[in-house]
Amino acid sequence: MGRLQDKVSIVTGASSGIGRAIALEFAQQGAIVVCANRVPEARIEIPTERETNTHDLINQNGGRSIFVKTDITKPEDIEGLVSRTVADFGRIDILINNAGISLETRRQPLKIHETSLDDFDRTMDVNVRSIFLTCKHVIAQMLKQEPNDAGERGWIINMSSIIGLVGGYNLNAHTAIFENTLSNMEVDLGAVRDLHPLKGIGKPRDIVGAAVFLASEEAGWVTGVNLPVDGGYTCR
């Protein structure tokens, strides 16, 4: 029995990076995983993730997973994601709002007056509006369903960059977004490692333990907390 045994979880941005790592670990912990993304394939910047799609890998390893094509900026797609999950598995126990973008990694960092309105709107749609939409529709479902044996109707974990807590840029875990940063910007990799005194630049695997804890009944008395998982960056 895993720590998330038989819990029905939705993971947005599950095709690659941190979302993929969380989805795979949730499956290892016994969860049923609904992988939500615009495409099932991982981003090409991390070639090893392209070998097998996340939901296929879970099913090959004896877990239970489906892929639901989802544009998280579209209300109708979110409604369809919730409906499909409930139709297949009866309820939603966990929502991981992981999907996000960092358009500034495509080029040298832009100042506000150099940022296009299209880039601003796209960033707000994906990184802010989508969180509202997923929470809106998933909470409505959670309130309709019966509590589980622990008296809980569900858990929601919203992922974000630590830049939401402290200033700075180019401080990602080593995901496809960070690969873009290395390719498109002048980055001193050693200096970035030094900003994370615990173990240097993080990997997606470094994030999953916190996600499992917060989604488990072990965190039954935890809510509304900002939990930095950042190799010590915010406490330097």
pLDDT of residue 172: 53
Question: How does pLDDT run across 173-185, given as a tens digit for each residue?
Answer: 444 444 444 444 4
Question: How does pLDDT run across 12-28, given as a tens digit for each residue?
Answer: 999 999 999 999 999 99
**In a domain? residue 14:** yes
Total number of domains constituting the chain? 1
**In a domain? residue 199:** no
pLDDT at 214 over 70: yes
**In a domain? residue 169:** no
What residues contact 73, with CB distance under 8 A and at least 6 apart?
A: 125, 126, 129, 130, 133
Whole-prediction pTM? 0.85
pLDDT of residue 96: 98
Question: How does pLDDT run across 100-109, given as a tens digit for each residue?
Answer: 987 766 655 5
**In a domain? residue 140:** yes
**In a domain? residue 48:** yes
The answer to whether 92 and 154 are in contact (CB under 8 A) is yes
User: Which domain, by its residues, includes 82?
Assistant: 8-162+204-224
**In a domain? residue 209:** yes
What residues contact 169, with CB distance under 8 A and at least 6 apart?
A: 104, 109, 163
Q: Could you tell me the two tokens for 235?
A: 């406490």
Mean pLDDT for the stretch of residues 73-80 = 98
* CATH assignment at residue 70: 3.40.50.720
Question: How does pLDDT run across 55-74, given as a tens digit for each residue?
Answer: 999 999 999 999 999 999 99
Strand partners, 64: 32
By C-alpha distance, which of 207, 206, 201 is closest to 179? 201
What's the CA gap between 88 and 91, in Å, rounded? 9
The answer to whether 207 and 236 are in contact (CB under 8 A) is no
Residue type, 55: H
